[in-house]
Structure 1
Amino acid sequence: MKEAKFAIIDVETTGGGIRGNKITEICVIVLQHGEEIDRFVSLVNPGREIPLYIEKLTGINDAMVADAPYFDEIAPQINSLTKDCIFVAHNVGFDYNVVRAEFAEAGIDFNRKRLCTVRLAKKLIPGLFSYSLGNLCTSINIPHRDRHRAQGDTEATVILFQRCLALDEDYEVIGGFLNRKSKESYVPPNCKASDFEDLPQKAGVYFFRDKQGSPLYIGKAINIQKRVLSHFREKSNRKYALLQDTYSIDYKLTGSEVLALLREAELILKHYPKYNKAQKNPTKPYKLTSYHNKKGIEQFALHKNKIAPVSWMQFYTREEAIEFLEMLCEKFELCPKFCALQTGVESCSHYKIHQCSGACDGSLSAKEYNRRVSKALDFIEQYEDSCLLLEKGREAGEKSFIYLEQGRFAGYGFISAQEEINAVDDYQNFMIRQKSSAYADRIIQRYITTSKKLERIALKEAQEHENSVFDHWLN
């Protein structure tokens, strides 16, 4: 390890994150045994105009790079210079990904082990107010000339890295950072690796927070740790900016995916995090209605904009509506033609549903068919009843429930097997009340129409059977 070569690199760019960003200047200083053994510095023609705000920041303008080489002209030299080197930069995620993208455009696969001097300094020089290069240099008396120019920033980073080497003579910290299995190799620069290590592999919501602890991004996951890791590995400009602003990551367990979805929607509306896409009002829902046609058959229809005297259910996508109607048609042996699944046909010829009832061709009477429709409507009406949807809890021996009040999301809670349920209404002692929203309605609607293992306690039924349904649930 002590024979290793380190290529300390800084680039100036046209701006705009890590995707589509072009290099305007690059500096590479190669160290071995803590001493400089080689150096390369060059302006780079980005092949596009340099924005005014970048020119003001770096001092590099279009005229300065007009006669400079394009990156693909200097790529072989940089590739050779950094071969067998460890790529080192202050906030390495930015420089490495921009350089790697430029090499990719030049037709060269550029892969190097990498070290971040932000994370290294945090580990070896803890307790500083800020770890930006300028503030860090001021704090520990590192000369920093020509700020925001590649050579000036690289020279300052070299001195910082040499200080880190002196504090880590046995390469214990550096070796740990280079270990691919180490969390330090991919955790955001301002976060603790322990934040990631503490994340559970369970369902819930997670929070990326800024320096003040305010949520920057809120997400949901079946496996929180795995989902957060996927954010670290994503290379979009937006995700890069999020990770740079993140100082801590935490979570709340929910036990189930559907409750994670509901809590995510609730918390996004509460906090409006900077990096969550704004939740827009859903489009008008599709309403499931019914009417008696000329043959006296009660026929289902889907309407989006019409006002109907009877509306049995609503769906926020046509796909959800069709999926539910197909289930209804099969379960109660109805005709696809009379379930809004086929139009313009004399008799049913649905690609998926083959056991047509026969009402469409007259082999089943309207009266008998309407009896089946009546049973289907009874089935539909249960979704408008107050009920509990039952799910697994956050840990062994616990169950979660989602409370629907007349078919609308109204709260959730958790009950352990040790709790006593002596009456049906006792579940309210464990409930966290929530305001319903269009987002929550949509989540619930999709859940109850697509879930293969839906556990549901109708509160009317529970009242009739006292607490026996709860005893069965908890045990």
Structure 2
Amino acid sequence: MNSRRYVICDIEATGLHEEKEIIEIALITYQDGKITDVYETLINPLKEVSGFIQDLTSISQKQLAEAPKFYEVADAIRMRLEGGVFVSHNTDFDFGLLRKKYIEMGQDIKMKTFCTLKVAHHEIPGLRNYNLDALCGFFGIKIKQRHRAIGDAEATLALFHELFQLRLKNYTKIMYLPHHEKAMKKVSTKSGLLSFKDNKGKTIHLEAAFNMEKRARELLEVKADNRDLLIRTETIEEELTGTPLIAEFKRLMYHAFTPHWVITMMGHKDGEKFFKLLPYKRGAQGLWFFTDYLDAKIKIKELERKLKTEVYLYRDSEKSKEEILKTNLKIEQLARETRFPNENLIIMGEGRSIGEKSFVLVRGGHVFGYGYSLASEAEIEANPESFITRRFFHHLGVDLTTKRYIRELKNMRQKSDGWRSLAEVR
């Protein structure tokens, strides 16, 4: 921070109305990284103060009646302000009210200002609230005496320091809180499960990731859509899994996938097949599963659109066997994306340490389980059941996650030779 002299100010007033008067002021002079002067005083507003303000500030009418009037402390305040930079959380309010009082005395004050409220809006875009409580909570600053001038001024000084550092580092769009930066340095770049914990050690978010450090940094960037995670996260723990697929399995053990809607394949009496959207019942068979009704409607409309443009699904007259066959063929093609490439297969992947391999085994169209081993791929494929670490029994969330992972593998394999192929288990 440069050698300028900054005067951090907070004012408590009779209210926010136009006729508001000062009842307390605190000034903290800050220069060369240290506090050089602290000044605080009550001020007699020469009017009644509402019970609400007295309760909010814990300042009584009797205390104010015995306090000095503004003109009696005006010189002491001016002496501290002159030549400095006025800092407050909402300079329009604090500096505006202070200047108004001097103008009433036939004087004026003019000085450079630094508004922590406005700077926070610029440096940390997207937060829901920018009041002093919210920003101090964001940076982990404790306010010792809220709604007292000295307590709020001390908090504003701490906030000013944080915002000033952001400007020096030019973190206008992306920024990490200091304790998050420290925590992320300990996070591995390998695949695994991230556990974000609050200050009591309670897990508040789980995230499966291909690169845990990269994903942690994405989630802890200062953005509007992750403010809650930013404020609540105190520490990050990791669990190596070898692949993001197994990490997702572990996440599902804590947060099970619970669908509310399902698209299933049904048939008319004449043998023609069709898709139908239905409420999900536990154990029900289906092709596509959804928690959100809107997502389900979008998918069924997409399927209907494909069928309508390519087959004669919506003819009113009776269909020929050829037309029904064409319809059923197209429906089977669309449904194929929801199935495993083979009913029995194994997905090989990296392990948790050097030399170790991971694998996911599919038997009879369902994920049988996963495991780890130092054995060769040939040995694992010859008898995969003997290496199973965790067994599943027709787990819907695990099956759907694995199918999606296989589709991603196929897509990425077209761009990279580094992805292992799927080996069919005999």
Question: Shorter-normalised TM-score: what interval?
Answer: 0.5 to 0.7
State whether residues 8 and 28 of structure 2, in contact with CA within 8 Å, keep that contact through their aligned partners in structure 1: yes
Match of 1:32 in 2: 31
Match of 1:149 in 2: 147
Q: Which amino acid aligns with 2:425?
A: A
1:159 and 1:300, CA in 2 relative to 1: closer, same or farther beyond 3 A?
Answer: closer
State whether residues 315 and 445 of structure 1, in contact with CA within 8 Å, keep that contact through their aligned partners in structure 2: no
The answer to whether 1:100 aligns with 2:120 is yes
Q: Which amino acid aligns with 2:151?
A: D
Mapped partners of 1:219, 1:300: distance in 2: 37
The answer to whether 1:288 aligns with 2:261 is no
Match of 1:407 in 2: 365
Deviation readout 1:24-83 (Å, 9 max, x if unpaired)? x9966341133547989999xxxxxx9x9x99675489xx9xxxxx974557799x8665
Match of residue 253, structure 2, among 266, 276, 288: 266
State whether residues 195 and 248 of structure 1, in contact with CA within 8 Å, keep that contact through their aligned partners in structure 2: yes
Q: Which amino acid aligns with 1:252?
A: E
Match of 1:462 in 2: 425
TM-score by length of 2: 0.54
Match of 1:214 in 2: 202
The answer to whether 1:246 aligns with 2:233 is yes
The answer to whether 1:299 aligns with 2:281 is no
State whether residues 361 and 384 of structure 2, in contact with CA within 8 Å, keep that contact through their aligned partners in structure 1: no
State whether residues 8 and 157 of structure 1, in contact with CA within 8 Å, keep that contact through their aligned partners in structure 2: no
1:283 CA drift (Å): 0.8
Mapped partners of 1:376, 1:118: distance in 2: 48
1:103 and 1:132, CA in 2 relative to 1: closer, same or farther beyond 3 A?
Answer: closer
1:153 and 1:211, CA in 2 relative to 1: closer, same or farther beyond 3 A?
Answer: same
Match of residue 344, structure 1, among 297, 303, 314: 314
1:393 CA drift (Å): 5.2
Match of residue 379, structure 2, among 371, 396, 421: 421
State whether residues 26 and 38 of structure 2, in contact with CA within 8 Å, keep that contact through their aligned partners in structure 1: no
TM-score by length of 1: 0.50
Q: How many residues align?
A: 344
1:226 CA drift (Å): 3.6
**Identity in percent:** 19
1:247 CA drift (Å): 2.7
Judge which range, 393-402 or 204-213, deviates more.
393-402
1:288 CA drift (Å): 1.9
Mapped partners of 2:349, 2:304: distance in 1: 25
Deviation readout 1:342-367 (Å, 9 max, x if unpaired)? 742479xxxxxxxxxxx9777x5877
Mapped partners of 2:394, 2:5: distance in 1: 59
Mapped partners of 2:136, 2:279: distance in 1: 56
3-state SS in 2 of match to 1:262: helix
1:153 CA drift (Å): 1.6
CA RMSD of aligned residues (A): 6.1
Deviation readout 1:225-247 (Å, 9 max, x if unpaired)? 343334433355x9555444433
Match of 2:217 in 1: 229
Mapped partners of 1:9, 1:371: distance in 2: 75
1:188 and 1:10, CA in 2 relative to 1: closer, same or farther beyond 3 A?
Answer: farther
Mapped partners of 1:438, 1:217: distance in 2: 22
Mapped partners of 1:192, 1:8: distance in 2: 28
Deviation readout 1:422-471 (Å, 9 max, x if unpaired)? 6632354143235665544443454456764487757xx523xxxxxxxx
1:408 CA drift (Å): 3.7
Mapped partners of 2:303, 2:247: distance in 1: 23
State whether residues 266 and 276 of structure 2, in contact with CA within 8 Å, keep that contact through their aligned partners in structure 1: yes
- Which of the pair has more CA radius of gyration? 2
1:56 and 1:388, CA in 2 relative to 1: closer, same or farther beyond 3 A?
Answer: farther
Deviation readout 1:377-421 (Å, 9 max, x if unpaired)? 999876683543445556776654333454344533345575761
3-state SS in 2 of match to 1:421: helix
Match of 2:3 in 1: 3
Runs of 5+ unmatched residues, structure 1: 13-24, 44-49, 65-69, 88-95, 105-109, 121-130, 135-146, 165-173, 270-278, 330-335, 348-358, 464-475
1:97 and 1:199, CA in 2 relative to 1: closer, same or farther beyond 3 A?
Answer: farther
1:373 CA drift (Å): 8.2
Deviation readout 1:292-324 (Å, 9 max, x if unpaired)? 52xxx54343342599xx967343335556778
Runs of 5+ unmatched residues, structure 2: 13-23, 44-49, 65-89, 100-109, 125-129, 291-295, 414-419
Match of 2:289 in 1: 315
Mapped partners of 2:288, 2:195: distance in 1: 32
1:155 and 1:411, CA in 2 relative to 1: closer, same or farther beyond 3 A?
Answer: same
Mapped partners of 1:11, 1:409: distance in 2: 65
1:26 and 1:3, CA in 2 relative to 1: closer, same or farther beyond 3 A?
Answer: same
Mapped partners of 1:301, 1:159: distance in 2: 63
1:229 and 1:306, CA in 2 relative to 1: closer, same or farther beyond 3 A?
Answer: closer
Q: Which amino acid aligns with 1:180?
A: K
